[in-house]
Structure 1
């Protein structure tokens, strides 16, 4: 499985060291490397960098979900609610979203981010998207 061609990481995500990888038929995993671009207080990930990764994983999950069904929609975030669960350490951070519902106008996505153990997330979020016809 791969991310549909219309979805590519935006310049912000690339500048933050994010990359897409496949995950066995599910939504893609978005990974961000630890470095000066993502460090907050010394030795820890910045909360904004974590939030940016969660957002990119939500977009990737929804784009993949819609693409697998042959649906072309514009995706505009309505809101995002982030739960920071534990400190982000100087290791790569991975995130993957799950589309819980994609209706005609609204989609609901849950995203989790982890470092060394997927069963121990360091952050998660809920995202709601407005879906509309693509501009012609």
Structure 2
């Protein structure tokens, strides 16, 4: 779903689903995504987390394109110029608001590069 948006296509994001139907987004490293030498720009890491949250809401809650209320990101280490992955999970789905957590990693899922939280307004 989200991978078909122009922004996700520009970032080269691809979706991979496991046997349980859980979606992981993968963003391949590209020179256009580099910030300081040898590292991904933090904005594209945040974008990957945001898109993972939106994908999770669309797939798990069946609510495409909810309106973001707020987003926050914690950058835990520098993202190297290698492929990055993100996965999100719904924390709570209320009548009007959904809360989502996301994690971004590279080589080792146990060593996240960044985490994010979103609160979205459901129509």
TM-score by length of 1: 0.85
Which of the numbers 108, 119, 122 marks the counterpart of 1:128? 119
User: Match of 1:39?
Assistant: 34
Which of the numbers 74, 91, 107 marks the counterpart of 1:83? 74
Which of the numbers 42, 45, 48 marks the counterpart of 2:43? 48
**For 2:109 and 2:69, how far apart are their aligned partners in 1?**
27
**For 2:65 and 2:80, how far apart are their aligned partners in 1?**
35
Cα 1:74/1:47, change in 2 over 3 Å = closer
**For 2:12 and 2:19, how far apart are their aligned partners in 1?**
23
Report the alpha carbon displacement of residue 42 of structure 1 after superposing the two structures with TM.
Answer: 1.4
Q: Contact 1:27/1:60 (CA < 8 Å) preserved in 2?
A: no
Computed over aligned residues only, the root mean square deviation of the Cα atoms, in angstroms, reads 1.3
Moved more, 37-46 or 25-34: 25-34
Q: Contact 2:71/2:118 (CA < 8 Å) preserved in 1?
A: yes
Structure of greater Rg? 1
Structure with more helix by fraction: 2
Q: Contact 2:69/2:120 (CA < 8 Å) preserved in 1?
A: yes
Q: Contact 2:69/2:119 (CA < 8 Å) preserved in 1?
A: yes
Equivalent residues, number: 122
Cα 1:94/1:73, change in 2 over 3 Å = closer
1:8 partnered with 2:2:
yes
Uncovered stretches (5+) of structure 2, i.e. residues with no partner: none
After TM superposition, what 4+ stretches of structure 1 lie above 3 angstroms from structure 2? Answer: none
Q: Deviations over 1:66-111 (max 9, x none)?
A: 13xxxx5651111000000000011100000010111110000000
1:21 partnered with 2:33:
no
